[in-house]
A and B are shown apart, each in its own frame.
With several copies, the nearest count.
Chain A
Amino acid sequence: MKKNFLTKLGLKSNVRVLNNDAVAEFDDLHIIEAIVFASREPIHIEYLLTKISKTDKAYLRELMDKLRAHYDNRGVNFEYNDNYCIFQTSPMIKAALVDEFEETRDLSKAAKETLAIIAYHQPTTRSEIEEIRGVSSSKGSLDVLLGYNWIEISGKKDVPGRPLVYKTTKKFLLDFNLSDINDLPKLSELRREGLLSGYEDSS
């Protein structure tokens, strides 16, 4: 019965009218699974809404929850945030895969801090980064982060000398599993404490 229905998918809209909700759901679940599984890039939820039988976010969310549960204990997991879905290998079996697939080497402490400063203060300049870290050199860290495509140059600051400004990229959000930049850990707390601005601004 399931297969019978699937063979008619070419006539999607006509067929769906005739079939019951359960079949449509079975269908939709596998459409989402296929689309997301097929891609190396995260798939936007809005895109998925155009592919299933109802343009209904709550319904889609239900299906995504089902998929996540189905893959919960597997070698491959289905993950999503407010915007994107993706399949990725389970972090729990990382050790079996790192030799073959690992692309992100462990970064220096300096590079990690530089990334955090850019993420929380963006857009920001090299001298602002160095001011916060209290050191006068950050070029190596910036190079590494640019190379990973986690940050990008987004123009110049409108102050004397027109220094370059840096901000994080979409790839940064995706690689760190953040829905958007407001998803950064403790962001609102740090804002409230005035730690993301100068002393003057906060007092």
Chain B
Amino acid sequence: MSSVLEVKNHLIIDIEGFEGPIDLLLSLARSQKVDLKEISVFELAQQYINYINSQAALKIDIAADYLVMAAWLAYLKSKLLLPDEPIDEEEEYTAEELAGQLRHRIQRLDAMKTASLLLFEKPIVNRDMFLRGIPEEFDEVTKLIYNASIFDLIKSYINRQDDRVPESISIFKLDYLALDNAKNLLSNIFQKISGWANFFRLVSENKYTENDRSIAASAFSVLLDMVNEQKAHTKQEKQFGEILIKKIGND
């Protein structure tokens, strides 16, 4: 919390719950005991300044807002004594018009305070009276209305929002030869050969991936299946010797 706010909270607590300069002005205006529309701004300005001075004398911290208002009121007060002419160069308001604006702001705050009292003095649901606890549904309840406001959504979003959203996703290329691909590889090979041929040399000439060992393993596994299904002959002359393959029939 900023120091300004701390000062203000301090002030609010210390001077009888006034929430800002207009609130204080309203309180002082009520003490004039006339209709707020008829309030003497000149007199009110003096009351306000006196009040702020008395608070300063008590060595209570005064927030900037209250002091700015005091300075402005002192200025307005002095101008109200002069003939009715524009005092604000930019907007050309007369002192009396500025006083009118202030009167309006005070009345407006008063109206809203009254309205809030009126609103809250009547019975309110879930404070003074309560609704059916176990709502019943009738048969064929079909229409559900979902309650959700933007604020609900934002709350949900905030609760989930974190840094886990990746900037990008990279998927590594798989470094092995799938069996289906190995089958394609072998059928290509068998189309090219007639008679006996060196299996591993043929395989290595048809690289799919960088990993020779994976190709060899997958291709050999498919070859064994083909032998099993009597689609190919194989032979190996000696231990660790070359593996030779030959097609059976014409397909």
Chain A residues engaging chain B, CB cutoff 8 angstroms = 34-35, 37-42, 77, 86-91, 94-95, 97-107, 109-110, 112-113, 115-117, 119-120, 128, 131-137, 146, 148-149, 152-153, 159-160, 169, 174-178, 184-187, 190, 193-196, 198-200, 202-203
Cβ contacts under 8 Å, A149 to chain B? 149
B134 touches A153 (CB 8 A): no
Q: How far is the CA of A95 from the CA of B139 in the complex (A)?
A: 8
B142 proximal to A (CB < 8 A): yes
B133 touches A113 (CB 8 A): no
Distance (whole angstroms) from the CB of B153 to the closest CB of chain A: 4
Q: How far is the CA of A112 from the CA of B159 in the complex (A)?
A: 11
Residue of B at shortest CB range from A99? Answer: B140
Q: A175-B126, A199-B105 are in contact. Are A186 and B143 (CB under 8 A)?
A: no
Q: A104-B126, A152-B150 are in contact. Are A119 and B119 (CB under 8 A)?
A: yes
Cβ contacts under 8 Å, B108 to chain A? 132, 195-196
Q: B111-146 CB contact bits vs A (8 Å, 1 = yes)?
A: 111111111101111111111111111111111111
A40-B135, A104-B127 are known; give 10 further A-B pairs, CB within 8 A.
A39-B134, A100-B140, A103-B126, A106-B146, A116-B112, A116-B160, A119-B153, A146-B151, A190-B111, A194-B104
Range of interface residues on chain B? 35 or more
Chain B residues engaging chain A, CB cutoff 8 angstroms = 5, 8, 17, 19-23, 65, 100-101, 104-105, 107-109, 111-120, 122-162, 164-166, 169, 171
A135 touches B136 (CB 8 A): no
Distance (whole angstroms) from the CB of A138 to the closest CB of chain B: 10
A132 touches B109 (CB 8 A): yes
A186 touches B114 (CB 8 A): yes
14 CB contacts below 8 A, A to B, read A38-B131, A39-B136, A91-B128, A94-B129, A94-B136, A103-B127, A104-B127, A104-B147, A109-B17, A115-B156, A131-B166, A152-B150, A195-B108, A196-B155
Which residue in A91, A100, A176 is a CB contact (below 8 Å) of B143? A100
Q: How far is the CA of A142 from the CA of B128 in the complex (A)?
A: 23
Residue of B at shortest CB range from A133? Answer: B160
Distance (whole angstroms) from the CB of A100 to the closest CB of chain B: 5
B115 touches A185 (CB 8 A): yes
Distance (whole angstroms) from the CB of A84 to the closest CB of chain B: 11
